[in-house]
Amino acid sequence: MWSARRLPFDPDSLPPHVRPETIGLVFAGGALGSVARWGVGIALDSGGAWPWATFTVNLVGAFVLGALLETLTVAGTDTGWRRRVRLACGTGFLGAFTTYSAFAVDSMLLIRAGSPGVALGYTVATVCCGFVATAAGIVAAGAMARGRLR
């Protein structure tokens, strides 16, 4: 059995982003987020001209990330359980759930399919609605936090 003195390095001396706990939290959250995104893709089969599955996961993810980060910010500093929740849920789950690479591919496929107007509309709608969804998540979480703090 290794003792703390006999380890080749002190795990606590590693930068936070490469510690085994951090990597495990992001990995676990990412695995669940990927499965959730796959489920949305199955439920919202994008057989039409608009890639609804990608659009939906990106907007839902933007809203939830805004709400999550606002909630954690109001709760206190980014340490302990708050950091673990941010890493597992924000970086891991929502990082895998949202998909800006598929957004880029969907936009290019729309252009190649002869629908540049739809591609432009999809691009603008995703970016603008994503901004609004993030702001709405922040406002909603802030309002809920203020209600609890009274």
Binding residues: 95, 98
Which residues, including other chains, have CB under 8 Å from residue 71's CB and lie 6 or more apart?
A: 141, 144, 145
CB–CB of 110/116 below 8 Å? yes
38: buried, middle or exposed (CB in 10 Å: 19+, 13-18, 0-12)? middle
Binding residues for Na(+): 95, 98
| The residue count for the chain | 150
